[in-house]
Amino acid sequence: MASAPPLETAGPGGYPQPPPYEEPMMNPHPQYPQGPMPPPYSYAKVPQCPYPVQSQSPPVTGPVVSVQTIYVQPGVVYGDRPVQAHCPVCAQFVVTRMDYSAGMLAWLSCVALSFFGCIYGCCLIPFCVDGLKDVKHTCPNCNNILGIYKRL
Ligand SMILES: [Zn+2]
């Protein structure tokens, strides 16, 4: 009698061998990373701070410049010619009157002439030449001194 050999495939209480779980280990996408594991996405490595840290307060544009209104007569240059200026005393625009006075240049010219031998009255010539004197600009109305032009 040939009895069928008992199949030993699955005996009583014999559990089929579970397939080896290697697929989860080979899984490139771990669902739940455990612990401080480095992220598997190397391309997603974000640099710490690609931009320079900016200060919280915006840069100050600059100190506040307080504009002071200083009334300066524009273009009034006191030279050796009468100029039109505004007299603050009589509050009028006048043409200055020139008064010549011996200034530094006249005295230096006198000393220079004396040094070269012109001691007999010739050294006084600079005091007679208006081109060597200082010019004092005065107001023709109130004789207020508006400016002095010094040659030295
Ligand atoms: Zn005046």
Mean pLDDT by 10 residues, the chain (152 residues): 51 57 54 57 54 55 53 70 92 93 94 86 90 94 93 84
Which pLDDT belongs to residue 72? 45
Gap from CA of 82 to ligand 1 centroid (Å): 14
Gap from CA of 131 to ligand 1 centroid (Å): 26
With a CB cutoff of 8 Å and minimum separation 6, the contacts of 28 are 40
Which pLDDT belongs to residue 68? 44
Which pLDDT belongs to residue 69? 41
Gap from CA of 139 to ligand 1 centroid (Å): 5
Token code pair at residue 22: 């290697």
Cβ neighbours around 63 below 10 Å, total: 6
Which pLDDT belongs to residue 71? 43
